[in-house]
Structure 1
């Protein structure tokens, strides 16, 4: 009898009341939502309403695709799918408009365990979503990445950024077996400008060249400053046919040369800056990026030696 009373008392202590649980949940600083697998908002607990994309009453009964920006909604829906399969999803970052401005959030999702009472089970799977304000940390991380992977003079990605971006772009198109091209660019008379007019003028010339290259390179391609007076361009989405890809790249090289070789006016001086380009085509997703760059570099020196504006690498 006494042991039964102790067991009952211990059970009462171990099981917090609904009010206690509600109070605990309300004290969590993260935004908390209950969604179903269609992304529909069923419930919300919000300590800081100024972090919401819309007032709470406008969220309930609406899906994430209806209330979030398209890119953020896609990330959340993919995370819900992961959580349905694995039980949880952590660490996804989304950028959302709020009354405080655009802020970064980290979302964590857990699949909700349903009640054993069959009549009380909701239709479909439900999820608990925590959305945490990480704006300061994210901005600091983005700034650090920019310093690490961007050239401060031209504001282009630098040589350390190319490998990761190459892998991503190749993976996105490898199913179609599209060709890619690496263009290795070198400014022939840049050293003369530096020697005769000083590094400040040389820097201005490099910035002008980068700006012109940006007008020619498509948004889906990648332009980086390799170092000194050298640039690299990754052209993706070329034809799956090698001859057609060759012709497409050839046309792009002509366009680049025509644009970059025009005179430059810096201060009171006018400069001509001849460009040499080496090209290597490839379509193998397992390609060694460093080897491809070396081959394009070798083709560039061949173009320079033969006094041609560009040359393709040949084994």
Structure 2
């Protein structure tokens, strides 16, 4: 790892450590670290909060319920450098409260923090915390009111299960049916022979509606395809009692009400004394919120937060794909580089908030001017890029197609804008264009060529289109 990467990792670690230190010490200054555009998943509540004030209220409630410092026992930490302005940290840890014993500390909490640099200051843009305290009451963050009752119940349960240790089948059913994870077994044909009651709580199907049916009935077609691929990919030579191990995969599951949830499946084959495969058993854990968080992380990493258009990083990836597709198909593609001609006066007169509204409207108009297969990206500031794919094989015909779309964009962007507060603004765009076929030039050179043509359009009077020679 080079020194720049090491410095970057240390910077991300420092941001995360500051958060943990302030949270553990119940430092009220933490409330000021959240972004105005914050979103987050609560711990035991498990719902998405999109309002900064509501999140600050929840944080104060957390601190008020347990005002004394708490201890964080870190188990694992993953740092991700997504873009120059967006970083993420994901941690697994246990929380030790200053009172109440160690019952809560047996649970493993999961925290994902997304930091975004806003006006040279790192802010927390998203917090996704999963604390499996399923017995909280009311608005509790930590289940202090029911802790004593829970402790007595757990002690009684331990005593009961200790006495029933010799009844292995009954004990097995108690262990599987008390958890939120779904325990299941199948025969060698993947027909369900047992499923725990947790499946009814999770998907709504009673056990009688599942047992005797094929596993694929539980999954979407894509999930069933994933299972088929795993069965084909695993050589039969490895399917033996001595070498088999749990296989982990993710798949969408069907619910009785028609909705879909994501499940993380751990599966292991079962063999008889002769070494013959007789079935499978495993555990399914719901991970829908985790998948949603991954989608949000992807949106932050590859899309502009204001216009929701692809950002420069995603544009470069799609340009690489388009150039490779052009090489295979022998069709031309085109790159259009746009810059708004009189954007700065709007910001100077009415402020950046109104300027942001104009950029959002420009993004909407651009998307109506191109085909579904094309890409509209915000390059930065008031600069936008349009990637056109699968144009004509003939260069002149492809240039005509690109020019026609560019003219459509120029006319659309030159129409007056009516912004919030009754503000009318007239704004044109200078457009530079360049064609490409295959991979005869680099992605950077293509962008630079379109950028140069755009500046030629500005120098020759603006509100114009110029092709790079």
Consecutive unaligned residues in structure 1, runs of 5 or more = 1-16
CA deviations over 1:236-277 (Å, ceiling 9, x no partner): 233344343322222211211121111112233322111111
1:274 aligns with 2:274: no
Using the size of structure 2 for normalisation, the TM-score is: 0.50
SS in 2 for 1:298: helix
How far 1:137 moved relative to its partner?
1.9
How far 1:282 moved relative to its partner?
2.4
CA deviations over 1:154-182 (Å, ceiling 9, x no partner): 22222232233444556667643443322
Residue of 293, 303, 309 corresponding to 1:140: 293
Aligned match of 2:443: 289
Alignment of 1:53-64 (within 5 A): 61=213, 64=216
Aligned match of 2:457: 303
1:81 aligns with 2:232: no
**Which structure features the higher share of helix residues?**
1
Alignment of 1:1-315 (within 5 A): 26=176, 29-30=181-182, 32=184, 34=186, 45-49=195-199, 50-52=201-203, 61=213, 64=216, 68-69=219-220, 73-74=221-222, 76-87=224-235, 90-92=248-250, 94=252, 99=257, 101-107=259-265, 112=269, 131-168=284-321, 175-266=328-419, 267-284=421-438, 288-307=442-461, 309-314=464-469
Consecutive unaligned residues in structure 2, runs of 5 or more = 1-166, 236-245
Residue-pair matches, total:
288
Using the size of structure 1 for normalisation, the TM-score is: 0.71
- Measure, in 2, the Cα distance between the counterparts of 1:229 and 1:270: 18
State the Cα RMSD in Å.
4.0
SS in 2 for 1:224: strand
CA deviations over 1:12-59 (Å, ceiling 9, x no partner): xxxxx995997599568246575989xx75556345224338666656
CA deviations over 1:94-130 (Å, ceiling 9, x no partner): 47556595433345667x5877979x879xxx87786
How far 1:186 moved relative to its partner?
0.6
Consecutive aligned runs of 4 or more in structure 1 exceeding 6 Å deviation: 113-118, 126-129
- Measure, in 1, the Cα distance between the counterparts of 2:466 and 2:286: 51
Q: Work out whether residues 252 and 260 of structure 2, in 8 Å CA contact, stay in contact via their aligned partners in 1.
A: no
- Measure, in 1, the Cα distance between the counterparts of 2:265 and 2:327: 30
Higher relative contact order (CA 8 A, sep 6+): 1
Q: Work out whether residues 103 and 133 of structure 1, in 8 Å CA contact, stay in contact via their aligned partners in 2.
A: yes
- Measure, in 1, the Cα distance between the counterparts of 2:249 and 2:206: 25
